[in-house]
Amino acid sequence: MSILAWTWALVSVTLLLYIAIALYARSTSTSDFYTADRSLHPIMNGMATGADWMSAASFLSMAGLISFMGRDGSMYLMGWTGGYVLLAMLIAPYLRKYGRYTVPEFIGDRYYSLFAKILAVLCAILISFTYIAGQMRGVGIVFSRFLEVPINTGVVIGMFVVFFYAVIGGMKGITYTQVAQYCILIIAYMIPAIFISIMMTGNPVPFFGIGSTISADGAAILGDAGAQGRHLLAVLNDLHTDLGFAEYTSGIRPKIDVLCVVIALMLGTAGLPHVIIRFFTVPRIRDARSSAGWALIFIVLLYASAPAVAIFARTNFIGSIHNVHYSDAPAWFKSAELNGLVAWVDKNGDGRMQYGPGDAIVGKPKQIGHLGAFGQQTVKNSRTANSNEVYIDRDIIVLANPEIAQLPNWVVALVAAGALAAAMSTAAGLLLVIASAISHDLIKGVLMPSISEKGELLWARCGAAGAVVVAGLFGIFPLGFVAQVVAFAFGLSASTFFPVILMGIFSKRVNVYGAVSGMLGGVLFTAAYIGFFTLFYPELNSADYWLFGISPEGIGAIGMLINFTLLVIVSRFTAPPPLEVQHQVENLRYPVDRDRGETKIASKTRRAY
């Protein structure tokens, strides 16, 4: 069977499986829709959390960024893995004990303010929309790459599928679906990684393979007999320097920016609403901690292998296209070229693809009217002055990796199914956050407190329907690469939610005035900075123009400091919280009374805030 036939078969089967699971486990009550009636086993919840966590950015774009950025790309790996540990240890168990199952609900209750709650709702929606845009973009790229449809068509197809099982299934249906999606995505990620590791180094463990020497088969793949017996990273460093790049294992990004990106990703993780809500789907607090541990195990399988996938892909990519005559270009290159995911422009007229530092063209193929094969006249006025003739979208390197390594067609198709699973699992979780923010926090919590359960459930589904349309538009008109867009969401989360959640748990003194000031200051600064460099003046998006050398992906770290500063100073010079709130915060950090069982820290009687 061809790659296209295998892809249609595997993708169709998996999509039908997701829909069938959603119908089987569909939500019939608000408790089912929001928290799966708190009935999930920790292992199942840990697996679903892993799928929720490992989005298109983790599956597609993280390895792509590491592949092209070298050591600098590790900031995404460090930020996201460290952030999950921080979330599991410092945030999730306490919010679970507090008893409020959405972030805006916690903020509104802890800071005894309706305005704080509404502000948190708006921030949650902004973060979720930014995050989900990356997932929709990932879905479009997968469909475009393997099913030979335009990227925008792929986004629309993904919208319909995610809408169906997220709206019908709710948290209960999403969780069962995410368990299936985790199994598919981790198998799809690991099989080619193991295959290529064996082919290149003879070591079947990918994350050990990158430290191994190249085997005879690996040298044959590279077409360099002298590579046999040499360490893989040493060979890759030589390939880089020969082409004019810096050594792959060296870093060229400003150190302050690397630090800020890691901080923004790490602290942004700890405030992500769609991950926090997962800890409310288990019966007890101890189950929340247990599911966090299981999720970490499931996440590590992919994250430990991502650098290996990146390094294998980079080495094979350079060997497969550099100085190769265009007429002999590999099939994967010409297939991806049809939708502008890769491109070649013959600057020196020799008919060979020369790869090196710098951008081959101005912008991207789709931005210069590229349709079909990449014709020379189409880009005549879009060439850059450097010698690089090859453009490649970083988000496709994982998808192209099995084809570059000439793995069987069914493995190539399996990766496509896994990428869709990763993107759709996170998109569904984010849609649920948006639906919960609209129906539970805004409609029931503010505008219509007496609404019936049936009416609330209807509002939740309508909110998810509207959200998926907006998310699709963001996917069609993206702000950047998948991982870049997701990094923006993490930066917004770090600058808005992390300080007020952390201080709300561990400080009795912070109050509503500090919380509102901090969230407003953090989100306005961070959103304005990201918008300036991505929406209004993208041509200035370089280290020469960044504030203190900090990129839009890392500016959330500064927004977080602004939030913390305003939160502490304003709280210090304004009235302290009511004694009732102070007692709740004090009791929150005590161990659960095992004789009495789990108790809800927040008062049973809602305060009139």
Q: What is the pLDDT of residues 134-164, one digit of tens each?
A: 777 777 777 776 666 777 787 887 777 777 7
Distance of CA 191 to the CA centre of its chain: 22
pLDDT per position as a tens digit, 68-127? 888 888 888 888 888 877 877 777 778 777 766 677 888 888 998 889 988 988 888 888
pLDDT at 366: 54
> 56 pLDDT exceeds 50?
yes
How many CB atoms lie under 10 A from the CB of residue 124?
28
Q: Of 212, 210, 238, 244, which Cα lies nearest the Cα of 224? A: 238
Report which listed range, 353-367, 517-531, 539-553, 583-597, is most confident. Answer: 517-531
pLDDT at 372: 40
* Domains, the chain, ordered by start: 3-224+245-313+407-478 (1.20.1730.10), 342-392 (no CATH)
Which stretches does DSSP call E strand in 298-447? Answer: 324-325, 342-344, 352-353, 390-392
Report which listed range, 51-60, 196-205, 395-404, 412-421, is most confident. Answer: 196-205
**Locus of tokens 């993904």:** 158
Residue 283, CA atoms < 13 Å, CB-side half-sphere: 5
Cβ-count burial 199-228 (b if 16+ within 10 Å, e if not): bbbebebbbebbebbbbeebbebbebeebb
Higher pLDDT, 229 or 129: 229
**Residue 352 pairs with which residues in a beta bridge?**
325
| Mean of per-residue pLDDT scores for the chain | 80
Report which listed range, 61-65, 174-178, 406-410, 573-577, is most confident. Answer: 573-577
Tokens standing for 604?
């049973």
Distance of CA 217 to the CA centre of its chain: 35
> 368 pLDDT exceeds 50?
no
The mean pLDDT value for 332-361 works out to: 83
> 593 pLDDT exceeds 50?
no
What distance in Å separates the CA atoms of residue 48 and residue 213, rounded to the nearest whole number? 37
Strands 324-325 and 352-353: antiparallel
**Locus of tokens 């209750």:** 109
pLDDT per position as a tens digit, 485-500? 777 888 888 999 999 9
> 550 pLDDT exceeds 90?
yes
pLDDT band, very low/low/confident/very high, at 535 (cuts 50, 70, 90) = confident
Higher pLDDT, 369 or 428: 428
pLDDT at 420: 79
How many CB atoms lie under 10 A from the CB of residue 168?
17
The mean pLDDT value for 197-219 works out to: 88
pLDDT at 62: 82
**Residue 361 pairs with which residues in a beta bridge?**
383
What distance in Å separates the CA atoms of residue 440 and residue 453, rounded to the nearest whole number? 10
% the chain with pLDDT above 70: 86
The mean pLDDT value for 198-204 works out to: 90
pLDDT at 150: 75
What distance in Å separates the CA atoms of residue 261 and residue 554, rounded to the nearest whole number? 4
pLDDT band, very low/low/confident/very high, at 478 (cuts 50, 70, 90) = low
SS3 40: coil
Per-residue CA distances from 7 to 394, 420, 465 (Å): 21, 11, 28
pLDDT per position as a tens digit, 262-279? 999 888 877 776 777 777
Pick from 52-61, 214-223, 304-313, 523-532: least confident: 52-61
This prediction's pTM: 0.79
